[in-house]
Amino acid sequence: MVKSRIGATFFLIFSAFYFYKSFDIHLLKGTYYETMTAQTFPYYLGILGILVSVLILIFSFIKIDKDDFMDMKKLRTYDFKKGLYLVLAMIFYGYTIRSLGFVISTIIFLIFGFRILEEKNWKIILLTSFGVSIVFWLLLTQLLGIYVENGVIFEYFLGVQS
């Protein structure tokens, strides 16, 4: 597999989509005859994007640098599973930050994160996740005066409106 070719294919598809979508930019009445409308810049960027990605593709067939070959041995050592789990943990964090509130969602996210990366010492896991969340929350709300959501749990049990 050639790395520049994989990237160029991605950009070719992206640029083609971007170019195609540039026609969807709605122009206001009276601006049709202007030299430069909201559509002009994206239109030419799309064309340039297609052109450059095609050029990369062409060059990748003329001559391939040694470095340009995907190192499959190295790729096999990559732990994509861990990366994927962390991505899911981030999405979960985004999903819960408002409902569970800053402190609880951060504690959960950090515990997930440490466990995904195989930290085994629960004392460290709990101390760090609770410590960071609570200290950061205190810093934000008490010192910097930044409002953060309390979350539904606080609302429900303590009657605090978030």
Interacting residue ranges for other proteins, rule: CB under 8 A: 3-4, 6-8, 10-11, 14-15, 18, 21, 25-28, 31, 35-38, 41-42, 45-46, 48-49, 52-53, 55-56, 59, 62-63, 65, 67-68, 70, 75, 77-80, 82-83, 86-87, 90-91, 93-95, 97-98, 106, 109-110, 113-114, 116-119, 124, 128, 132, 136, 140, 144, 146, 148
Token pair 């994007």 in the structure block, residue = 49
Considering the complex, what minimum distance in angstroms separates the CB of residue 83 from other proteins? 4
Considering the complex, what minimum distance in angstroms separates the CB of residue 158 from other proteins? 21
CA distance 21 to 11: 15
